Amino acid sequence: MLQFRKTLYVFFIFCGVISFAQQLTQIERDALLDKVNKDLSYAQENIEIFNYFEAKDSLEKILVNAKILNNEKSLGLVYSKLGKTQYFLEESNLAIKTLIKALEFQRLAQDNTNIAETYKTLGDVYMKTKTPKKALDNYNAAETLFNKKN
């Protein structure tokens, strides 16, 4: 029984140290958020010059930092851009899953502008997969949100 208590005690101390080490200071969080935003701009530039493989690699790395931050807006943006890149790389099934994940985070962040853009991209993917009903539903959702904004 004594050995069990010692093991349990060591386990709790270990968990406490790990938990403390994983908590970022506000300065570290701000620096990481700046890095995520800068890297997102770089990935967007790669998308715009049709360098989709480079963009996808960058976005997958950015996703790691966005998950550490647990910032819904950043996660929504990363997933949305990743889904768009997957669409351009003709990975339609993966793009659909990624874009739906983007919508989840964008809704939590109440990021209506990016939600509309994600719906539009999702509509494009569904058109490519010859699913016009789902495409139309997503295009209508995008239009509704764009009209609310204006």
Contact 69, 29 (CB under 8 A): yes
DSSP string, 31-64: HHHHHHHHHHHHHHHHHHTT-HHHHHHHHHHHHH
The predicted model scores a pTM of 0.81
- Assess whether pLDDT exceeds 80 at residue 76: yes
Residues 45, 50, 51: CA angle, nearest 5 degrees:
75
> Taking the domains of the chain in order of start, what are their residue ranges?
24-149
Q: How confident is the model at residue 132 (pLDDT cuts 50, 70, 90)?
A: very high
Longest dimension (CA), the chain: 68
Secondary structure letter of residue 91 according to DSSP: -
Residue 128: which residues within 8 A CB-CB, separation 6 or more? 87, 90, 92
pLDDT score for 11: 59
Q: Give CA–CA dist 123/137, Å, rounded.
A: 8
Tell me the per-residue pLDDT of 7-42, one tens digit each, with 9 for 90 and over. 655 555 655 534 444 577 999 999 999 999 999 999
Q: Give CA–CA dist 80/106, Å, rounded.
A: 9
Tell me the per-residue pLDDT of 105-131, one tens digit each, with 9 for 90 and over. 999 999 998 999 999 999 999 999 999
- Assess whether pLDDT exceeds 90 at residue 149: no
Q: Does the structural domain 24-149 have CATH classification 3.40.50.300?
A: no
Contact 84, 103 (CB under 8 A): no
